[in-house]
């Protein structure tokens, strides 16, 4: 069995009992960054073989992991935070495992975009998840394709690009478009800022920009 196990995005209390039990029971744990996962595993008393599985080695590693699964070993995949394969490695391995007729289970658990969407105050009956926009090539093409989007849009963004992204969104969606930015979700300094894109720009021009950001933008009305 291949298990995809969500890990907390900040608050360790968001780890589920089932997630802890699965990680204790599997034969191998694949981690996006073993250094990041080590404190989490130690905190929950999980002592297993851990191997790195990230965007730089996943293409090469898939065939070997499939071999282990075929031999009957149970493997769990975790990312640094949140649910594997959501803007993190995992898709290639899941696709390969399913192609080989192997069992795959994804546990429910932490992911950043759901709480950000729900607490944004924006319509959430229909939405589209865009994750990280391309940094250079293809960025403007993607934004132009979203200019007429009627659903609430969800993006991930890094702190050093957030102001530039807000400015780009003002150009594409208009300064008065309603939006919400959540950062450091579930952590001590969690912040949720809501208003027009202009309001968000003013806020982050005058306040510290730290942490991981989830950017929700209302669709075209």
Whether 208 shows a pLDDT value over 90: the answer reads no
84-102 tens-digit pLDDT: 999 999 999 999 999 999 9
How far apart (Å, rounded) are the C-alpha atoms in residues 215 and 2?
31
Question: Which residue carries 């699964």 as its tokens?
Answer: 69
Question: What is the model's pLDDT at position 221?
Answer: 87
Predicted TM-score (pTM) of this structure: 0.92
Question: What is the model's pLDDT at position 57?
Answer: 83
Q: Where are the alpha helices (DSSP H) in the chain?
A: 17-25, 34-43, 58-70, 91-99, 113-118, 139-146, 162-173, 197-205
124-172 tens-digit pLDDT: 999 999 999 999 899 999 999 999 999 999 999 999 999 999 999 999 9
Q: Phi first, then psi: what are they for 52, rounded to 5°?
A: -75, 135
44-83 tens-digit pLDDT: 999 999 999 987 788 889 999 999 999 999 999 999 999 9
Structure tokens at 182: 């959540």
Question: What is the model's pLDDT at position 117?
Answer: 98
Domains delineated in the chain: 2-106 (3.40.1010.10), 112-217 (3.30.950.10)
Strands across the sheet containing 28-31: 49-52, 28-31, 75-78, 2-4, 104-106
Average pLDDT over the chain reads 96
How far apart (Å, rounded) are the C-alpha atoms in residues 215 and 179?
7
How far apart (Å, rounded) are the C-alpha atoms in residues 172 and 143?
7
């Amino acid at each position: 069995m291949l298990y995809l196990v969500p890990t907390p995005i900040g608050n360790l209390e968001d780890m589920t009992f089932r997630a802890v039990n699965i990680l204790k029971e599997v034969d191998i744990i694949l981690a996006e960054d073993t250094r990041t996962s080590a404190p989490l595993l130690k905190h929950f008393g999980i002592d297993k073989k851990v191997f790195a599985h990230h965007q730089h080695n996943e293409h090469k590693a898939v065939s070997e992991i499939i071999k282990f699964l075929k031999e009957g070993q149970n493997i769990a995949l975790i990312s640094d935070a949140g649910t594997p394969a959501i803007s993190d490695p995992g898709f290639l391995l899941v696709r390969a495992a399913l192609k080989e007729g192997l069992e795959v289970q994804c546990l429910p658990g932490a992911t950043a975009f759901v709480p950000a969407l729900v607490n944004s105050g924006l319509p959430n009956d229909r939405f589209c998840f865009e994750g990280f926009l391309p940094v250079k090539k293809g960025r403007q093409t993607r934004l132009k394709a979203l200019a007429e989007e009627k659903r609430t849009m969800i993006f991930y963004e890094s702190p050093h690009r957030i102001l530039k992204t807000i400015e780009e969104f003002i150009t594409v969606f208009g300064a008065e478009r309603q939006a919400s930015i959540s950062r450091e979700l579930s952590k001590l300094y969690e912040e949720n800022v809501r208003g027009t894109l202009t309001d968000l720009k003013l806020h982050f021009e005058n306040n510290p920009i730290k942490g991981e950001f989830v950017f929700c933008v209302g669709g075209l009305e």
